Amino acid sequence: MSQRTFFVYILGNERPTLYTGMTNNLQRRLYEHKQGLCDGFTKRYHLTKLLYYESGDSAMGAIIREKQIKNMGRQAKLDLIRSKNPSMKDLSNEILRH
Rounded to two decimals, the pTM is: 0.93
Whole-number Cα distances in Å, 9 to 2, 17, 18, 71: 22, 14, 10, 14
Classify 10 as helix, strand or coil.
Answer: strand
1 within a domain of the structure (yes/no): no
Total structural domains in the chain? Answer: 1
The CATH number linked to 60 is 3.40.1440.10
90 within a domain of the structure (yes/no): yes
Segment 55-98, tens digit of pLDDT: 999 999 999 999 999 999 999 999 999 999 999 999 998 887 75
Segment 24-45, tens digit of pLDDT: 999 999 999 999 998 899 999 9
What secondary structure does DSSP assign to 54-83, as a single string? EEES-HHHHHHHHHHHHTS-HHHHHHHHHH
36 within a domain of the structure (yes/no): yes
68 within a domain of the structure (yes/no): yes
21 within a domain of the structure (yes/no): yes
